[in-house]
Amino acid sequence: MMRLRRVAKFAVVGGVGFAIDAGVLTLAVRELSSVYTARAVSFACAVLVTWVLNRLYVFDPDKRASLAFEYGRYLATQIAGALTNLAVFVALVESIPRLATTPVVPLAIGAVLGAVVNYGGSALWVFDARGPGR
């Protein structure tokens, strides 16, 4: 039951991250010349917010680990999830060009697959006090 509760909290934080990602993407795509540049900006904003929220509300991080070390692990995990997410995003935008005008659709589809990677990395590597290097 405890693990299910943690997955639920992770999903809520992911939802907040998605809302930030989608909101920043929607605003940035209007101002920037490329949907991909806008996506990079929205991703950076979402990663920072979700790290803080996951640290505070979802996982029980090792308080002895440095924040920089932990954030480095989190960022690496998020990059792996983002590459999964981005691969799906690009594949959809390139195969269905009209999706570039509504980029939240491919963003959402990619986000689901990226979330699986992100949860696994966060639970097993980033915030696990018993993990490697701790």
Residue 131 lies in a domain: no
- pLDDT of the residue at 43: 86
Look at the chain and count its residues: 134
Pairwise CA distance, residues 96 & 90, whole Å? 10
Task: Quote the tokens at residue 73.
Answer: 């692990």
Residue 79 lies in a domain: yes
- In which domain, by residue range, is 26 found? 2-126
Predicted model pTM: 0.74
Q: How many whole angstroms from its chain centre is CA 61?
A: 18
Residue 132 lies in a domain: no
- pLDDT of the residue at 132: 46
- pLDDT of the residue at 130: 56
State how many domains the chain has. Answer: 1
Residue 134 lies in a domain: no
- pLDDT of the residue at 85: 86
Residue 87 lies in a domain: yes
- Residue 48 reports pLDDT greater than 60: yes
Nearest-10 crossing angle of helices 104-121, 2-31 = 140
Pairwise CA distance, residues 129 & 85, whole Å? 27
